């Protein structure tokens, strides 16, 4: 008997409009595509983008115009498969890549499907997210979890994949020094991946002491508390001091804050690479002369692409990155609205919140 024969509706965590999240009964989606599977969602992490939609109703050009199911950092169990599915089977535990591109765009054909302008990404208007009991996904956007990798770890494959993609674009090499601005979930994981890829020094910069303390579990060899430093030039000097007078070859800004962008470019070693991971204001001022005279490579990065999810699972499975210390809070599915309020109201206390179920 299929899921839809047993049940017709399930609960969903729905952002009704800016400032209002509710639990709502929704019809269980019908499995019709032969290459799709039905998943029972087990664990979902709260992402900063979800909180931003909750607070403002928009991120850039993506504007909430109708109620939307939240959630995109999820893992689950396969409960039903389409007739053409060969990559997974019922009972498999999987990490769910939440963005499915058009199969016909130039970007997808060029191997950069993360840039597809027709991407259907969970919990990005107008597409519903994963905070439901049952969710449909194509088989080739699922990665099976080894038996020793938990479903909670599986939910964190999504933000870890952002770090994997950024580190690949930066071409991090053995023995390099890496600098990370912003010790939130993505920043910590980006630093951890840089260390796993061979960086010998990883410097984290943040204004929250609790996050900097945690950075030692994510490859951090040095921590700089920016709340104690006035002026970007003084911040750059402090970074060089903790590195023994050296400069980082790779800089990741995971904060989106203009002072960090500027300091990151100034701090980067000549011939190095600066990677913009975090999202901030649309327009910021940058030290353009430093980019030119140091021949810096300035690299943008957006989500993740082919192979990044697979490699993220492998990093967890092999013990190269431990994502478990990232989890600071848990909430039951029925308390999801409270979870979002907590994340929004106590950002300095939260690293990553996991929402369970529903069962």
- Rounded to whole angstroms, the Cα distance separating 190 from 176 reads 14
> What tens digit of pLDDT does each residue of 27-46 get?
999 999 999 999 999 999 99
> What tens digit of pLDDT does each residue of 118-156 get?
999 999 999 999 999 999 999 999 999 999 999 999 999
Return the domain boundaries, the chain. Answer: 3-156+323-356, 163-300
What is the dotted CATH code of the domain comprising 3-156+323-356?
A: 3.90.180.10
Q: Which CATH number fits domain 163-300: 3.10.450.50, 3.40.50.720, 3.90.1150.10, 3.40.50.970?
A: 3.40.50.720
What is the pTM assigned to this prediction?
A: 0.95
- Rounded to whole angstroms, the Cα distance separating 214 from 50 reads 23
Which pLDDT does position 276 carry in this prediction? Answer: 98
Which pLDDT does position 349 carry in this prediction? Answer: 87
* 3-156+323-356 and 163-300: identical CATH topology: no
Which pLDDT does position 190 carry in this prediction? Answer: 98
Collapse the DSSP code of 138 into the 3-class scheme (helix H, G, I; strand E, B; otherwise coil) and give the result: strand
- Rounded to whole angstroms, the Cα distance separating 328 from 330 reads 7
Which pLDDT does position 281 carry in this prediction? Answer: 87
Report residue 66 CA to chain centroid gap: 24
pLDDT in tens, the chain (359 residues): 355 456 899 999 999 999 999 999 999 999 999 999 999 999 999 999 999 999 999 988 899 999 999 999 999 999 999 999 999 999 999 999 999 999 999 999 999 999 999 999 999 999 999 999 999 999 999 999 999 999 999 999 999 999 999 999 999 999 999 999 999 999 999 999 999 999 999 999 999 999 999 999 999 999 999 999 999 999 999 999 999 999 999 999 999 999 999 999 999 999 999 999 998 888 999 999 999 999 999 999 999 999 999 999 999 999 999 999 999 999 999 999 999 999 999 988 899 999 998 88
Q: 86 φ, ψ to 5°?
A: -130, -15
Query: Hunting for tokens 């003084």 — which residue is that?
Result: 234
- The 3-class secondary structure across 225-293, one letter per residue, is EHHHCCCHHHHHHHHHHHCCCCCCCEEEECCCCHHHHHHHHHHCCCCCEEEECCCCCCCCCCCHHHHHH
Which pLDDT does position 5 carry in this prediction? Answer: 54
């Amino acid at each position: 008997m299929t899921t839809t024969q047993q049940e017709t509706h399930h609960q969903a965590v729905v952002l009704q409009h800016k400032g209002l999240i509710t639990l709502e009964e929704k019809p269980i989606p019908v499995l019709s595509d032969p290459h799709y599977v039905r998943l029972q969602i087990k664990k979902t992490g709260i992402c900063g983008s979800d909180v931003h939609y909750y607070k403002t109703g928009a991120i850039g050009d993506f504007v909430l115009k109708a109620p939307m199911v939240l959630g995109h950092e999820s893992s689950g169990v396969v409960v039903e498969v389409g007739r053409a599915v060969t990559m997974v089977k019922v009972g498999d535990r999987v990490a769910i890549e939440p963005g499915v591109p058009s199969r016909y765009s130039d970007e997808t054909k060029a191997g950069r499907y993360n840039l597809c302008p027709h991407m259907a990404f969970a919990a990005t208007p107008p597409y519903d997210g994963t905070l439901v009991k049952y969710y449909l996904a194509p088989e080739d956007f699922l990665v099976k979890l080894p038996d020793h990798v938990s479903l909670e770890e599986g939910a964190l494959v999504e933000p870890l994949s952002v770090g994997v993609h950024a580190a690949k674009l930066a071409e991090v090499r053995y023995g390099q020094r890496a600098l990370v601005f912003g010790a939130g979930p993505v920043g910590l994981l980006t630093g951890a991946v840089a260390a796993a890829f061979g960086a010998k020094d990883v410097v984290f910069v943040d204004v929250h002491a609790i996050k900097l303390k945690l950075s030692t579990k994510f490859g951090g060899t040095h921590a700089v508390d920016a709340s104690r430093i006035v002026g970007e030039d003084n911040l750059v000097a402090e970074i060089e001091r903790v590195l023994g007078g050296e400069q980082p070859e790779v800089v990741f800004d995971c904060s989106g804050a203009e002072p960090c962008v500027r300091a990151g470019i100034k701090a980067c070693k000549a011939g190095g690479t600066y990677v913009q991971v975090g999202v901030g204001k649309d327009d910021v001022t940058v030290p353009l002369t430093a980019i030119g005279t140091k021949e810096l490579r300035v690299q943008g990065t957006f989500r993740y692409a082919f192979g990044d999810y697979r490699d993220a699972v492998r990093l967890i499975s092999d013990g190269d990155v431990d994502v478990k210390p990232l989890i600071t809070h848990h909430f039951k599915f029925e308390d999801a609205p409270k979870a979002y309020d907590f994340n929004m109201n106590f950002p300095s206390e939260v690293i990553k919140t996991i929402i369970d179920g529903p069962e």
